[in-house]
A and B are shown apart, each in its own frame.
Chain A
Amino acid sequence: MNRLEDRLRDAFGAAAETVRPDSVGGLQSRPRTSRTRRLAPLTVAAAVALVVVGTSVVASLAAAGGQHARSSSAGAGASSPAASAVPSRAILVVPMVTGMAASQAIATLHAVGLRISTTSDTVSTAQPGTVIIQDPASGTEVPVSAIVTLTISSGPSVTYTLAPSAPSRLVTLPPYAVTIRILRSWQRTRGLGSGVGYSGVSGWVQLQAVTDRAGLHAACTRVAAENVSGYARVPFIDYLRIDGRPGCQILAALVNRRTAIPLISALVEYRSPLSDGANFLLISGDPATMTGIIATIRLHR
């Protein structure tokens, strides 16, 4: 009987997978009358989440980013440089952007034809995401396309917590180039449920992941080491949640599709004052081996 049940699971799984995640269209408020196939936005979150288990992270992601030409991501403040409209020999006066929100400052500088470089600093007195220092100062005359360096407050340090029942959503990643930085890999030997501590590199995020001990224990005892194709992204998360910071959201988790048990994995979108593209934080781990990575994924034009 067990063999039959396995065959059923296999057949159902294979049939179900003929519905590709990217082929299911968006929610329509009216019932459909015809069965015309919709052009669906491509959800790349699945690809991202899947790829990360494997090793060819950068190559596949770059390919994914290149393929998908539609951009409807929540990439915050995607400011389009209007620099091309400005004559190339002109001299510009650097506008005052200190105190502005970073995205606004970036948009302002882009609009007059300046380029931007950013750095950050932990300052508890300034609002996170606001420009503390600009260099050159406002009023300075610079050539078009000069680089203005902005120092952006990253606010006081923030703790992220992973816990059960996260809201999640799918995103369409914009056709940006992708860089992935593996910030830290970890291997835990102290047992399940121990926290994963991470102290931010270059001031982007500080993350502290704490997993649900009981849930992880169950996952650990039941998740067998399967190859990558054994996992599918399911847009539903049981054991992970990110709280405590607006603009930060779990987008997808890796889940064992047979047992529906999530790995310690999350793809988190966060707004960063440091980038005008979309930013993702990837936390991926395997409870069986208690190994994993934390990586940032930045998408830029």
Chain B
Amino acid sequence: MTANGVADSEGTTPAASTAVVPPVESAGELLAELYRMHALGLVRLALLLVGDQGTAEDVVQDVFARLYRAGAGLRDPDKAVPYLRTAVVNGCRSVLRARRRAHLLRVPHEPPVWSAEAAVLAGEDRRAVLAAVTRLPGRQREVLALRYYLGLSDAEIAAALQVSRGTVSSSASRALGALARELREES
């Protein structure tokens, strides 16, 4: 064994930065890799939008299933994550639309995570905040989740929601204003 001791980064950093990502053999493998890396985060994002884990998982599974069927469409891994985010947000919108229809037919769904029946979420304040968020219009809710849960920049949010940056910031400030009013009244 050679004793190497402490090495300084000066000499080795350039080599590190030129290292390449190992090639991924197939689209299916890339997809599996993406799933392993991002499924949890995406399910959590979807949960914030649709309220229950089962539906959130369905949304994410469906997104990946569509990608899988689409086959070799996904070549650039850098674009994959923004794409997945957009697809999940769109999937959640469809679910919420379907729910509004279903509501007319009185089809029940699982109690959302922010409801009083959902014992999984501890803390009155959190529940109040989330409940207030769900009363916001859809886009404002999406902006809040992307900004304060995922911590995305306004530009990234704009890309995910396919709207302009101006729309993002105005939605965000309107949402925050509405929340501030509502939460102050409640407490």
List the interface of chain A (C-beta within 8 A of B). 1, 4-5, 7-19, 21, 23-32, 35, 37, 122, 157, 161-165, 167-170, 190, 193-200, 203, 206, 208, 210-213, 234-236, 241, 243-244, 258-260
Given contacts A161-B12, A163-B19, contact A37 B4 (CB under 8 A): no
Given contacts A157-B2, A235-B38, A236-B37, contact A15 B121 (CB under 8 A): yes
Is B183 in contact with A199, judged by CB distance below 8 angstroms? no
- Complex interface: chain B residues within 8 A of A243 (CB): 16, 19
Is B64 in contact with A27, judged by CB distance below 8 angstroms? yes
Is A16 in contact with B48, judged by CB distance below 8 angstroms? yes
Expressed in whole angstroms, the minimum distance between the Cβ of B47 and any Cβ of chain A is 6
Q: How far is the CA of A24 from the CA of B59 in the complex (A)?
A: 12
Is A14 in contact with B123, judged by CB distance below 8 angstroms? yes
- Complex interface: chain A residues within 8 A of B3 (CB): 199
Given contacts A7-B129, A29-B68, A206-B2, contact A35 B58 (CB under 8 A): yes
Expressed in whole angstroms, the minimum distance between the Cβ of A73 and any Cβ of chain B is 13
Q: How far is the CA of A193 from the CA of B8 in the complex (A)?
A: 8
- Complex interface: chain B residues within 8 A of A164 (CB): 16-17
Is A11 in contact with B126, judged by CB distance below 8 angstroms? yes
Closest 10 A/B residue pairs (Cβ): A163-B16, A16-B44, A197-B6, A12-B149, A11-B129, A11-B126, A27-B35, A195-B7, A8-B148, A31-B65
The A/B interface has a contact count, at CB < 8 Å, of: 184
B41 interfacial contact with A, CB 8 Å = yes
- Complex interface: chain B residues within 8 A of A212 (CB): 13, 16-17
- Complex interface: chain A residues within 8 A of B33 (CB): 167, 169
- Complex interface: chain A residues within 8 A of B74 (CB): none
The one of A14, A157, A167, A195 in contact with B126, judged by C-beta atoms closer than 8 angstroms, is A14
Name the residue in B57, B58, B176 with the highest tally of chain A Cβ atoms < 10 Å from its Cβ: B57
Expressed in whole angstroms, the minimum distance between the Cβ of A241 and any Cβ of chain B is 7
- Complex interface: chain B residues within 8 A of A163 (CB): 13, 16-17, 19
- Complex interface: chain A residues within 8 A of B56 (CB): 19
The one of A14, A29, A37, A210 in contact with B13, judged by C-beta atoms closer than 8 angstroms, is A210
A-B contact pairs, 21 of them (CB 8 A): A7-B129, A9-B148, A10-B126, A11-B126, A11-B129, A15-B47, A16-B44, A16-B45, A18-B118, A21-B40, A23-B53, A24-B57, A30-B65, A32-B61, A163-B13, A195-B6, A196-B6, A198-B4, A210-B16, A212-B17, A235-B40
Report the nearest A residue to B19, measured CB to CB. Answer: A243
The one of A4, A11, A170, A193 in contact with B36, judged by C-beta atoms closer than 8 angstroms, is A170
Q: How far is the CA of A23 from the CA of B4 in the complex (A)?
A: 43
- Complex interface: chain A residues within 8 A of B120 (CB): 18
Is A195 in contact with B148, judged by CB distance below 8 angstroms? no
Instruction: Return the CB mask of B42-79 against A: 1 if under 8 Å, else 0.
Output: 01110110000111111001101110100000000000
Expressed in whole angstroms, the minimum distance between the Cβ of A156 and any Cβ of chain B is 9
